[in-house]
Amino acid sequence: MGDLLGVAVLGAGHMGADHIRRLDQVVSGARVVAVADPDAARAKEAVAGIEGATAHTEPAAALDAPGVEAVLIASPGPAHQEALLAAFARGLPVLCEKPMVPDSAGALRVLEAEARLGRRLAQIGFMRRYDAEYRRLKSLLDDGRLGRPLMLHCTHRNASAPPDFTSAMLIDSSVSHEIDAARWLLGQELTSVTVLRPRPSSGAPRGLLDPQFVLFETSDGALVDVEVFVNCGFGYQVRCEAVCEAGSARIGDEHGVLVTTRGTAGTRVPQDYLVRFVDAYDREVQAWVDATRRGRVTGPTAWDGYAASVVAEAGVRSLESGARVPVELAPRPGLYAGGGR
């Protein structure tokens, strides 16, 4: 057990419980040593059956538990800033679920705190960078075979959203994944955002602006559009098509078994992200554990987390005003020159 990376997990809800299972049963080289959740029963349930793991209601108590060498943050976004700063203060490497910090001022504080340390400690949980299809698309774009990318057409659909999901969350929770994916795929910053609101679906809860159509401009003159529709009814569907000067490439078409019978042909649509992106989450956490055990920090950086928060905040302003909103980033600290991976 001694040479396994001891991990404290903060938050044992949907994602936290899934990551605890992953660290315990899927990923090699790590063990869960402490879990914190203000819901004491949830924390206790999360460590049941994990030898030596302790349950806490206070995040600080979990961080200070014996054997903790790294932290996985899976609490709600508004709790991330405090958790990240507490991890930095202890010199602990962190994998922090997206959004790094939902508000851009808080995200900047985290960025500056890490930059002051002079070394990276945080990897941000933009797991699409670990999805096999996204990685193939990224290497196609990087090797130049298709020429300069001109546009990305993206689709992000959920079967249904939780009842407390707000119109702003379509941007700062759902589209935050496309924000990071577009920056990473294109190697460019997003410079403006315009959100259009079609007549809401009658399948969406009353008052929720669902679907939305989001248009980003980029630093090298490309366009990125995203249809986000979180109560589409039929399943979880994420697609991305890159249109380049010498061709196009598309990922996210259903790739399961195609069944033809009784006059129909079809394949199953996953019902949620935990199913669609299971391999990406596994690879993300394994990569984090492997790098951390080697004393390295790889993957999406605090700069990526900060940029995503600024773009999402501009998107929410555009949703409210209907206007095109420019994205204004603080200067990029030298620590993040050259990006993540």
Ligand X SMILES: NC(=O)c1ccc[n+]([C@@H]2O[C@H](COP(=O)([O-])OP(=O)(O)OC[C@H]3O[C@@H](n4cnc5c(N)ncnc54)[C@H](O)[C@@H]3O)[C@@H](O)[C@H]2O)c1
Applying CB under 6 A, which residues contact ligand X?
Answer: 10-16, 36-39, 42, 59, 74-77, 79, 97-98, 125, 127, 173, 273
In sequence order, what DSSP letters do the residues of 287-318 get, joined into one string? Answer: HHHHHHHTT---SS-HHHHHHHHHHHHHHHHH
**CB 96, CB 124: distance < 8 Å:** yes
Residue among 55 and 208 whose Cβ is closer to ligand X: 55
Quick one: tokens of 131?
């999805």
Residue among 93 and 149 whose Cβ is closer to ligand X: 93
Nearest approach, Cβ of residue 330 and ligand X (Å)? 22
Residue nearest to ligand X (CB): 13
Distance, in Å, from the CA atom of 20 to the CA atom of 262, rounded to the nearest integer, reads: 43
Which residue, among 4, 84, 70, 15, has the nearest Cα to 280 in the 3D structure? Answer: 15
Residue among 38 and 205 whose Cβ is closer to ligand X: 38
Nearest approach, Cβ of residue 148 and ligand X (Å)? 30
Quick one: tokens of 285?
């956490």
Residue 177: which residues within 8 A CB-CB, separation 6 or more? Answer: 98, 126, 128, 156, 238
Quick one: tokens of 312?
């999402």
291-299 contacts, C-beta under 8 A, 24 or more apart: 291/123, 292/5, 292/69, 292/70, 292/93, 293/5, 293/29, 297/93, 297/119, 297/120, 297/121, 297/122, 297/123, 298/123, 298/340, 298/341, 299/123, 299/124, 299/126, 299/129, 299/340, 299/341
Nearest approach, Cβ of residue 298 and ligand X (Å)? 17
Nearest approach, Cβ of residue 288 and ligand X (Å)? 13
Nearest approach, Cβ of residue 143 and ligand X (Å)? 27
Distance, in Å, from the CA atom of 231 to the CA atom of 295, rounded to the nearest integer, reads: 42
Residue among 88 and 222 whose Cβ is closer to ligand X: 88
Distance, in Å, from the CA atom of 30 to the CA atom of 70, rounded to the nearest integer, reads: 10
In sequence order, what DSSP letters do the residues of 19-30 get, joined into one string? Answer: HHHHHHHT-SSE
Residue 90: exposed, middle, or buried by beta-carbon count in 10 A (0-12, 13-18, 19+)? middle
Residue among 75 and 167 whose Cβ is closer to ligand X: 75
Residue among 140 and 179 whose Cβ is closer to ligand X: 179
Nearest approach, Cβ of residue 267 and ligand X (Å)? 22
Would you say how long the chain is, in residues? 341
Nearest approach, Cβ of residue 210 and ligand X (Å)? 17
Nearest approach, Cβ of residue 186 and ligand X (Å)? 20
Residue among 39 and 253 whose Cβ is closer to ligand X: 39
Residue 269: which residues within 8 A CB-CB, separation 6 or more? Answer: 234, 235, 236, 237, 254
Residue among 39 and 328 whose Cβ is closer to ligand X: 39
Nearest approach, Cβ of residue 150 and ligand X (Å)? 28
Residue among 192 and 271 whose Cβ is closer to ligand X: 271
